[in-house]
Amino acid sequence: MADALELDALWTDFHRVVNMTSAELAAWLKVRDAAEETEPLPEQAGTPTGQRVLAILQKRRTDLTDDDVRVMYEVVDTVGDLVDMEDEPDPETAPEDTRRRHRLMTLGHDPLKP
């Protein structure tokens, strides 16, 4: 596992990019997977990464596993690649912007959230 200073920095970065609460993310994952014919069990809704982000949000820093740390790095890197955290542009209404927002929300980042 990462050393204490590295873990502190990762924890801070993770919670900076994941701007949705665990309740908001859980609700989004359920809505995202809802379909006319079928709907997964609430605890199985969403992508595996989305479920991992949700689990991490519900943990204390001292309870993180090596796999949690790996997922946190992955989420920080992915959101960082898709979003300019310092200067997020105004949202547009094009379909590709909606898909981008939904992908980010699955990782716990809502670009429309202040």
Would you give per-residue pLDDT tens digits along the chain (114 residues)? Answer: 668 899 999 999 999 999 999 999 998 988 765 555 555 455 555 688 999 999 999 999 999 999 999 999 999 999 998 886 555 555 555 556 788 888 899 999 998 887
The CA R_g of the chain, rounded to the nearest whole Å, is 15
Contact 89, 35 (CB under 8 A): no
Amino acid, res. 19: N
The answer to whether the predicted template modeling score (pTM) of the entire model surpasses 0.75 is yes
Dihedral through CA 8, CA 47, CA 107, CA 70, nearest 10?
30
Q: What is the pLDDT of residue 104?
A: 92
* Token pair belonging to 3: 């050393």
Q: What is the pLDDT of residue 100?
A: 86
